[in-house]
Amino acid sequence: MTPVDKIKELIEKNNGILTTKMLTENKIHRQYLKQLVDEGYVVQCARGVYSLPDKYLDEYYLTTCSYSNAIYSHSTALYLYDLTDRTPMALDVTFPSNVRPDNFMINAHYINKERFELGATTMKREDGTEIRVYNLERTICDIIRDRNKIDSQIFNDAIKGYMKRNDKNLNLLYEYAKIFGISKILKMYLEVLA
């Protein structure tokens, strides 16, 4: 199998998407990718991300590809979990405190490495791609921690919406609240808004 055939196989197996990381993992030189771009077989969508010309990639997936250590959080996570109907103007993304993204469409949040992965999960999108997002409980803790920076209507609706969900995990929510030192504040909001 030629390197070009191998690239085409990788694209087929990955839902019409190819990353330069995949080339590195498979020990394929990038000159073969350039050949496929020149032929029009694939197009570059973002730095290090390529797809078939007719493949639509949403901004959530492209951001995940551009920043492998990015996790969707805050208002963007609320939107992804249908806890708000307001489409985010900028994507709320949390990074370890030593990473500084260079993208005006990202509203970056930072946290120490020890707490960065807490509550991180993978969400499958409608097009078959996957993105990293904090789970419901971590998202609720994040918005409570940043409650003064979030629109009060979005905040109140999110807490009420969370309490109505069948998939909520109050034990986990309280566990996270203890870790972040917001147990008393959480209890107050749940009593008032729930």
CATH number, residue 37: 1.10.10
Residues 165 and 145 in one domain: yes
Output the pLDDT for position 37. 94
Q: What does pTM read for this prediction?
A: 0.84
Which residues are 9's β-sheet partners? Answer: none
- Residue 37 and residue 123 share a domain: no
Could you list the residue range(s) of the whole structural domain that residue 26 is in? 3-57
Q: How many domains does the chain fold into?
A: 2
Select from 36, 57, 78 the last residue of a domain: 57
Q: Is residue 64 predicted with pLDDT exceeding 80?
A: yes
Domain termination residue (choose one: 39, 57, 75): 57
Q: Which pLDDT belongs to residue 133?
A: 98
More confident residue, 43 or 194: 43
57, 75, 101 - which closes a domain: 57
Question: Both 47 and 76 in a single domain?
Answer: no
Judgement on whether residues 105 and 152 belong to the same structural domain of the protein:
yes
Co-location of 110 and 173 in the same domain:
yes
For residue 48, what pLDDT is reported? 85
pLDDT at 193 exceeding the cut of 80: no
Same domain, 87 and 169: yes
**Residue 39 class from Cβ within 10 Å (0-12 exposed, 13-18 middle, 19+ buried)?**
exposed
**Segment 15-25 mean pLDDT:** 90
pLDDT value of position 45: 87
d(CA 26, CA 48): 15
Residue 92 pLDDT class (50, 70, 90 cuts):
very high
- Judgement on whether residues 117 and 41 belong to the same structural domain of the protein: no
Give pLDDT tens digits for 66-76: 888 899 999 99
CB count in 10 Å sphere of residue 177: 21
